Amino acid sequence: MKKSILSLCLIGGIFSVLPAVAGPEEDRLAMVKYYSDRFPDVPMQEFANGLYAFDQSAREQWIEMEDFPPYEIAIDDGQVLFETPFANGKSYADCFDNGGIGVKQDYPYFDADAGEVVTLELAINQCREANGEKALAYMIGELAEIAAYMAYTSRGNEFAIQVPLDSPGAVAAYSAGKQFFYTRRGQLNFACSSCHIQSAGLNLRADRLSTTLGQATHWPVYRSKWGEIGTIQKRFAECNSQVWAKPLEAQSVEYRNLEYFLSYISNGLELNGPASRR
């Protein structure tokens, strides 16, 4: 018998798979064990595919859509934008290791000098501003297309997010992201974990909820309901709105810390973005 997400989330408190006091790697291993036990027939790498890892009907439709993926144009447009020189003659390639090719698995990272988490999208705009260009909107549009191209060049690389234990700032940022993930908010009193741990694999209206493991592997994403490609922080804002909480600004400290936490939890999984979702 299928249970509704609302009935599950109203039963008791947030279910947490992570120890109350633990380091990032203990958290990640606990999360891996939890989902391995809960979905024993799902190969670990499949969690990078979201609900398509365990919803066979949705998976078949998704595989068909991948024959002519709706994000393909965004990749092409993103490549053109990435390779177009700035007014000063430099380009994005001058701002990133390896010319910006195949580097997404290293983002986000904690910048000890700046004392903050740097996401790929933030780094793209930092590159623009350092070269006399105006910043781009963070959630959709040209920046999302550039990020989509960079993600495409990183496909097959495994997430390798670092949280140096000898860096109090990095540990604090990771811990803040973890706290955000487990904190209830909005009029519906939901946390991220309410859906993506407590109710992962269960139905929410016509869809099944994805797991926390793999949440960060496939961005940017073309969502049918958006009709365009968008960044992971667009999804954060949308989730906040759906629980009737006020969304934060894209690239706020809170959202960057949350992305840091989610990306670390997906360490060892291959990047497969950009992707398509309903």
Residue 140 near residue 274 (C-beta atoms within 8 A): no
Bond into 168 cis (ω within 30): no
246/133 Cα distance (integer angstroms): 30
Helix (H, G, I), strand (E, B) or coil at 270: strand
Give the helix, strand, coil percentages of the chain, each rounded to 5.
45, 10, 45
127/121 Cα distance (integer angstroms): 10
Catalytic residues: 239
Instruction: Look up residue 168 and give its two tokens.
Output: 């109090």
* Backbone CA torsion sign across 229, 158, 100, 172: positive
173/214 Cα distance (integer angstroms): 20
DSSP 230: E
Listed in order, strand segments (DSSP E) in the chain are 109-111, 116-118, 203-204, 207-208, 221-223, 228-230, 275-277
Q: Helix 168-182 to helix 24-38 angle, to the nearest 10 degrees?
A: 30
Measuring CA to CA, how many Å separate 223 from each of 43, 108, 153, 201, 265? Answer: 25, 22, 20, 19, 23
